[in-house]
């Protein structure tokens, strides 16, 4: 009988860093990636962010716009031997691209695409020049009555629905401009497109070829999308593919648009990252986060543009339970405060 051959121990699961643990979908993303077999490290600036306590490991980090953010996140990735990072908040998107130089897969499009999308005024000008349907748009400082009220007013750079208001008249806009909250050259005014709103997952990776386009009609929006339903819409898919031909992303992005009175999709914003509705995209059959992660770190197969229409997302909060020892394991007990110079925790996280 031959001598028994030694059995190699099973390989440790690959580690993925997921940021913005306090945002609405991140807790579910952490659980989803763990179910796929990844070890997940979560980060946030706020110790009350729920996703921190659902991950295998968690860290507090400085804000994405601070000089300390990239060195801190790089140190976490190297310490935890992370193979990939999934950034989910706009402030982090440009700086986090530097981690690709450390051999870490960053699940974002190239930095030039990210920067182009984060300047909402320049983006609208570029799409309009390319013949793509967008709302009439102007800088508030140069507004002379066109587009006509009611106007959607929003910061030129910013995320989610923060700072977005509706001005029903010129007087409303003038009051906003004279309030001193935002300089006029940092505010964008757009015509209000009052038809159904859609948020669309456009799944792309490094070859720039569109793998899937999944439109979701927004049913209820409160800061982030709360209720939405997958809808097939050929014209929306056509417009989103045209956006890709113009901007040439090599990573995932999210197109926000609304239908005008003629049913034409008008693109009013592009998020150069995974959408907060990525869980709905996955539930419908296109796991864009899991699928692109496999492509990034393991040469996984392309995703198919094959998904179910009529899948509804009802976003809710959920109670989770864990031992107190684990709650405080990483020094993230909200009662303990945060490091000096970092923002104070906000109720409810991000």
**Of 194, 204, 173, nearest in space to 270 by CA:** 204
Q: 347 pLDDT band (50/70/90 cuts)?
A: very low
Find out whether 16 and 293 touch, Cβ atoms under 8 Å.
yes
pTM: 0.89
Q: How confident is the model at residue 346 (pLDDT cuts 50, 70, 90)?
A: very low
Q: What is the pLDDT of residue 134?
A: 98
Count the alpha carbons within 13 Å of 206 in the hemisphere toward its beta carbon: 11
Centroid of chain to Cα 255: 11
Q: What is the tens place of the pLDDT at every residue in 44-79?
A: 999 889 999 999 999 999 999 899 999 999 999 999
pLDDT at residue 249 in the model: 97
- CB atoms under 10 Å from CB of 328, counted, come to 13
Per-residue pLDDT tens digits for 238-296: 999 999 999 999 999 999 999 999 999 999 999 999 999 999 999 999 999 999 999 99
Q: Which residues contact 33 (CB under 8 A, 6 or more apart)?
A: 16, 18, 40, 289, 290, 293
Res. 138: pLDDT tops 50: yes
Break the chain down into helix, strand, coil percent, rounded to 5. 30, 25, 45
**CB atoms closer than 10 angstroms to residue 12:** 8
Given pLDDT bands bounded at 50, 70 and 90, which one contains residue 36? very high
Write down all domains in the chain, each with its CATH number in brackets.
Answer: 15-106+319-336 (3.40.50.20), 136-191 (3.30.1490.20), 194-314 (3.30.470.20)
Confidence of residue 128 (pLDDT cuts 50, 70, 90): very high
Distance, in Å, from the CA atom of 217 to the CA atom of 219, rounded to the nearest integer, reads 6
**For residue 334, is pLDDT > 90?**
no
Kindly report, residue by residue over 2-19, the tens digit of the pLDDT. Answer: 555 666 555 789 999 999
Name residue 201's beta-bridge partners.
Answer: 214, 254
């Amino acid at each position: 009988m031959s001598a028994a051959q030694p059995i190699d121990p099973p390989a440790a699961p690959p580690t993925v860093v997921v940021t913005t643990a306090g945002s609405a979908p991140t807790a579910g993303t952490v659980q989803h990636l763990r179910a796929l077999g990844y070890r997940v490290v979560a980060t946030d600036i706020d110790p009350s962010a729920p996703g921190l306590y659902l991950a295998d490991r968690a860290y507090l980090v400085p804000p994405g716009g601070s000089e300390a953010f990239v060195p801190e996140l790089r140190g976490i990735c190297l310490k935890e031997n992370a193979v990939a990072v999934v950034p989910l908040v706009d402030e982090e998107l440009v700086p986090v691209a530097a981690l690709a130089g450390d051999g870490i897969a960053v699940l974002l499009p190239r930095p030039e695409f990210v920067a182009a999308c984060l300047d909402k005024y320049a983006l609208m000008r570029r799409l309009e020049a390319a013949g793509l349907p967008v709302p009439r748009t102007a800088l508030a400082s140069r507004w002379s009555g066109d587009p006509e009220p009611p106007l959607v007013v929003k910061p030129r750079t910013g995320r989610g629905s923060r700072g977005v208001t509706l001005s029903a008249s010129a007087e409303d806009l003038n009051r906003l401009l004279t309030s001193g909250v935002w300089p006029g050259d940092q505010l964008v005014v757009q015509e209000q497109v009052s038809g159904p709103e859609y948020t669309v997952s456009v799944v792309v990776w490094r070859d720039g070829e569109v793998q899937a386009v999944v439109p979701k009609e927004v049913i209820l929006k409160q800061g982030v999308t709360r209720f939405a339903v997958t809808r097939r819409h050929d014209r929306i898919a056509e417009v989103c593919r045209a956006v890709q031909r113009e901007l040439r992303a090599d990573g995932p992005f999210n197109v926000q648009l609304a239908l005008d009175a003629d049913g034409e999709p008008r693109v009013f914003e592009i998020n150069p990252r995974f959408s907060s509705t990525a869980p709905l995209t996955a539930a419908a059959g296109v796991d864009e986060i899991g699928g692109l992660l496999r492509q990034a770190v393991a040469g996984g197969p392309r995703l198919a543009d094959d998904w179910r229409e009529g899948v509804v997302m009802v976003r809710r909060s959920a109670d989770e339970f864990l031992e107190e020892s684990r709650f405080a394991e990483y020094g993230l007990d909200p009662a303990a405060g945060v490091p000096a110079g970092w923002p104070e925790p906000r109720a409810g996280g991000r």
